[in-house]
Amino acid sequence: MNGIMMSASTGVMNSLLGKLATLMGEEFAKLKNLRKEVKHISDELSSMKDALESLADVDTLDKHTASWRDTVREMSYDIEDVIDDFMCKIGEKSKKTGFIQDTIQRLKTSRGRHQIAGQIGDIKKLVRETSERRERYKIDIPKSGNVAVDQRVVALYEESSKVVGMDGPTNMLVNWLKDEEKKLKIVSVIGFGGLGKTTHANQVYHKLEGKFQCGAFLPVSQKSNMPKLLHSLLTQLGCGQYCHDCELNVLLDQVRENLKNKRYLVIIDDLWDVSAWNIIKCAFPENNLGSRLIVTTRIKTVAGAYCFGHHEHILEMKPLSEEDSRKLFFGRIFCSEKACPGQLRDVSVEILKKCGGLPLAIISISSLLASDRSNQKERWKHVLNSLGSVSGTNLTLEAMRQILNLSYKNLPHHLKTCFLYLGMFLEDSEIYRHELVSLWVSEGFVSKAHGQNPKQIAISYFNELVNMSLIQPVQIDMHGSVLTCKVHDMLLDLILYKSAEENFITVVDNPEAITGQLQKPRRMLFNLDGATLPRDVNMSQVRSFANWRGSTNIPSLAEFKYLRVFIADFSSSSVDDNRKIDLTGLCKLYQLRHIQIEGCDNCQLPTQIRGLQKLETFDIDGSCIPMDIFHLPCLLPEGIGKMKYLQRLRWFDTLHTSIDSIKGLGEFTNLRLLYLRTGFSEDVDMDVLNSSLGKLCNLDSLNVFSPDSWIPEALTLSPPPPNLMGLSMMRISRVPNWIGELHNLQSLHITVDKLDKDDVGILAELPALMDLELTFNRALEEIIVIYGTSFAILKRFVVYWTVMPQLTFQAGAMPKLQSLSLPLNARGWKQDESTTPTGIEHLLALERISVGIGSETESEQRSAESAIRSAINMHPGHAHIKIDIQCY
């Protein structure tokens, strides 16, 4: 835990001790009394911090010890607030003379000495009383014993078990769904959490999706936001334009209109109640095209509601057989049962009996033993004994919770903290890795000591949680890195239970239930809608505030004195233009590290934020960027350096920004992600903009967009940012030459007006390019030829054309290509004028091809589909290529 500023087990002890060390530095040598008092406090707190770290490894504490632990942890926050206030006040007037010198000068005054003496005295008294309390109750640090298991559960992503015990149930579902029945069929998968319902549904979906025109995966959850659910459905169905602020019935009509002439396959995952089903079912028309729904639930009465009156089947999930249990268990630890050392076989059998065939339990225990990398029989027996009196012959959900809690208990301290922070996100939400690791760094969960890169350390923590199956991957890039993840609902139960126990995260979703219970919340997940917090809730010490549901009744920002993280999504909020949400108070929260706001059009943002000297992330979706963002803490150039740690900026609008601000952009040398809005305007000096972009040496992702015109050809990245890996440019006339200089570019998404041989040549020679999306706004006259040896490591190629041009792949072209997506215009189709791409057989690594066929008649559709299948059948590995053809 060295260097980590904050953790769930020790509070902010490390951060506090660092600040006290500053007050004991040589610069304060003349203030002997201050240094003496601070040293006494620091010594006591260091001892308490060691005790907290030891207590974090103990499974069961008596009530006096647990109470003392909580008091010490909360005291660390209180003391840090006092020190922060003191340093802030002292430092306000030190810009010319320097912080330390000004501090000493102010402390020499009678008033200054009296003020700090009183504060230090109060802290010393508080620490002494807490220390005496430990002695009075004879609180000792007990040794770690058997795991005392709570009533929550770690949920692990199901893909780990997909190769074991899947075939029978999966084939049964497939057979039910692929018959010739034309009526809408609903298939149900029932079972309590951890049996693998979602995994089975996903397996079936991937087996059958190529036989349907469209499909979607719809996670529901207990507290569903129906408009967002339908927005997600529309997006997955490819509806590029739909109303974001529509009433529920309008959204339902839009879904029905989109599906009325299509054969669709949709998974509705984790349905909890009949009322939700009564709304969701209205989205799916009975169009007699053989459409199918797969619904998973843990409640039989819910299944009965959506199974009534249709031609449906119900699959009730069962535990794994003894053989499959052994295969899964030993496979995850030793790769095979044969590789298991002889001394561990007997204890393995006993552990498997405790798991009772439950995939989630087997994965959790095997992950724990595999990560421990110890084949000592004593260690395995300790795990077995820690499971207590769980009976494998009658494994209940409660018993599974006991088993899986062991994984949490054995996490390192730093991972426990990062793990619990997942509770700041909504159930079933998709979490971006870059967003999560940025928050971990801003919260102080990651060490910044010894010149280490905090972001890279945070990514390693993220990967550890993925490898331990505590995070479920959703999107994975070409390197196999997880880009987005989800949190299982039962995993969230455990996180929120532990967070409440540690006063780590407070969920506010019912004002009546929390009255009198919130004393000093530290992190707040604000889910109130249409209600306000009780007045007795003290918000002054909240460190993080997340309002994902867009409630407009948030507490006044003036109450958040020590806020570090502010997250809000007002994109779906109903706000009158004359009564926008007032966020101007953000400029006074001097401890802010992370600001993230969606729906800025509904907000009134501060016009100046020069006081936010510690800000690391400023992520908003509007163009109302405070003009002094580039001149913190003042208008002098040296003030810009105070924001040098800013890493993500969305959007920077050159069309509504001064020339000084464009110049200031180049000072953000730590910027990694930039969304740039630009275009033709007399007010935009492209030379100045190019100069600023050329200074962003750490930029790894750039998105350039022009709202009303083409991106100016004068825009260049020369010299290119050496680490640029992702580039998106919407609306450029043709491929600019400077793109050929981006030797580390891995992902390129561009919309162009023209594309010729030279343009293709520029793209083909990019040595690191693995992902390419090309969009064209008009038909191309030239034949597009992909020559042999070009695009050496490209793995994904997506083309968007209104009218498909002639596309030819020569032998040796795109040797690593795995996924190809193409449009095919079949309107007025003539076989002798076929625009079917040729040379697909030369794409030897191809695994999947997606084709969108535009047609007006069924005859055109059949002809085009036949032509594309004939082209694919020429591929030597066509039997193993996954084909997805959609018609519109």
Q: Tell me the backbone φ, ψ of residue 723, rounded to 5 degrees.
A: -105, 10
Same domain, 759 and 868: yes
Percent of all residues in the chain with a pLDDT value above 90, rounded to a whole number:
7
Q: What is the pLDDT of residue 412?
A: 78
Same domain, 755 and 850: yes
Q: What is the pLDDT of residue 677?
A: 79
Is residue 526 situated within a structural domain?
A: yes
Is residue 51 situated within a structural domain?
A: yes
Q: What is the pLDDT of residue 272?
A: 77
Q: Give the range among 373-382, 507-516, 673-682, 687-696 with minimum mean pLDDT.
A: 507-516
Same domain, 131 and 199: no
* 3-class DSSP string for 319-377: CCCHHHHHHHHHHHHHCCHHHCCHHHHHHHHHHHHHHCCCHHHHHHHHHHHHHHCCCCH
Same domain, 202 and 61: no
Please check the confidence at residue 551 and state whether its pLDDT lies above 80.
Answer: yes
Q: What is the pLDDT of residue 156?
A: 28
Q: Give the range among 53-57, 585-589, 823-827 with minimum mean pLDDT.
A: 823-827
Average pLDDT over residues 797-815: 81
Number of domains in the chain: 4
Is residue 234 situated within a structural domain?
A: yes
The three-state secondary structure class of 267 is: strand
Residue type, 587: C
Same domain, 173 and 306: yes
Find, among 389, 407, 397, the residue nearest to 353 by Cα.
389
Same domain, 179 and 84: no
* Cβ 282 vs Cβ 259: under 8 Å: no
Same domain, 117 and 215: no
Same domain, 826 and 878: yes
Please check the confidence at residue 416 and state whether its pLDDT lies above 80.
Answer: yes
Same domain, 69 and 171: no
The string of pLDDT tens digits covering residues 307-338 is 655 545 788 877 788 888 888 888 878 888 88
Same domain, 30 and 100: yes
The string of pLDDT tens digits covering residues 107-129 is 555 455 556 667 777 777 777 77
Give the CATH number for residue 183.
Answer: 3.40.50.300
Kindly report the average pLDDT of the chain as a whole number.
Answer: 76
Q: Give the range among 333-342, 512-521, 661-670 with minimum mean pLDDT.
A: 512-521
Higher pLDDT, 382 or 433: 433
In angstroms, what CA-CA distances link 273 with 221, 297, 311, 652?
Answer: 10, 9, 21, 44
Q: What is the pLDDT of residue 826?
A: 65
Find, among 496, 485, 558, the residue nearest to 527 by Cα.
496
Same domain, 181 and 279: yes
**Domain stop point among 585, 620, 635:** 635
Please check the confidence at residue 505 and state whether its pLDDT lies above 50.
Answer: yes
Average pLDDT over residues 271-287: 86
Q: How far apart are CA 610 and CA 626, in angstroms?
A: 9
Is residue 28 situated within a structural domain?
A: yes
Mutual orientation of helices 63-91 and 110-136 as an angle, nearest 10°?
170
Q: What is the pLDDT of residue 69?
A: 80
Sequence-distant contacts of 766-770: CB under 8 A, at least 24 apart? 766/739, 766/740, 766/742, 767/743, 767/792, 767/793, 768/725, 768/743, 768/744, 768/793, 769/745, 769/793, 769/794, 770/478, 770/746, 770/794, 770/795, 770/796, 770/816
Q: How far apart are CA 20 and CA 42, in angstroms?
A: 7
Please check the confidence at residue 252 and state whether its pLDDT lies above 70.
Answer: yes
Same domain, 92 and 195: no
Q: What is the pLDDT of residue 395?
A: 46
Please check the confidence at residue 100 and state whether its pLDDT lies above 50.
Answer: no
Q: What is the pLDDT of residue 764?
A: 92
**Domain stop point among 300, 316, 332:** 316
The string of pLDDT tens digits covering residues 743-773 is 989 999 988 888 888 889 999 999 999 999 9
Higher pLDDT, 809 or 374: 809
Here the tokens at position 444 are 């102080």
Is residue 339 situated within a structural domain?
A: no
The string of pLDDT tens digits covering residues 34-59 is 677 778 778 877 888 777 777 776 76
The string of pLDDT tens digits covering residues 124-138 is 777 777 777 777 656
Is residue 667 situated within a structural domain?
A: no
Higher pLDDT, 257 or 776: 257
Q: How confident is the model at residue 566 (pLDDT cuts 50, 70, 90)?
A: very high
Q: How far apart are CA 283 and CA 856, in angstroms?
A: 25
Q: What is the pLDDT of residue 464?
A: 81
Is residue 418 situated within a structural domain?
A: no
Average pLDDT over residues 412-428: 86
Average pLDDT over residues 661-678: 82
Is residue 38 situated within a structural domain?
A: yes
Q: What is the pLDDT of residue 161?
A: 39
Average pLDDT over residues 473-502: 75
- Domain containing 530: what range? 505-635
Please check the confidence at residue 193 and state whether its pLDDT lies above 70.
Answer: no
Q: How far apart are CA 165 and CA 97, in angstroms?
A: 71
* Cβ 37 vs Cβ 45: under 8 Å: no
Q: How confident is the model at residue 654 (pLDDT cuts 50, 70, 90)?
A: confident
Q: How confident is the model at residue 545 (pLDDT cuts 50, 70, 90)?
A: very high
Q: How confident is the model at residue 448 (pLDDT cuts 50, 70, 90)?
A: low
**Domain stop point among 269, 286, 316:** 316
Tell whether pTM > 0.75: no
Percent of all residues in the chain with a pLDDT value above 70, rounded to a whole number:
73
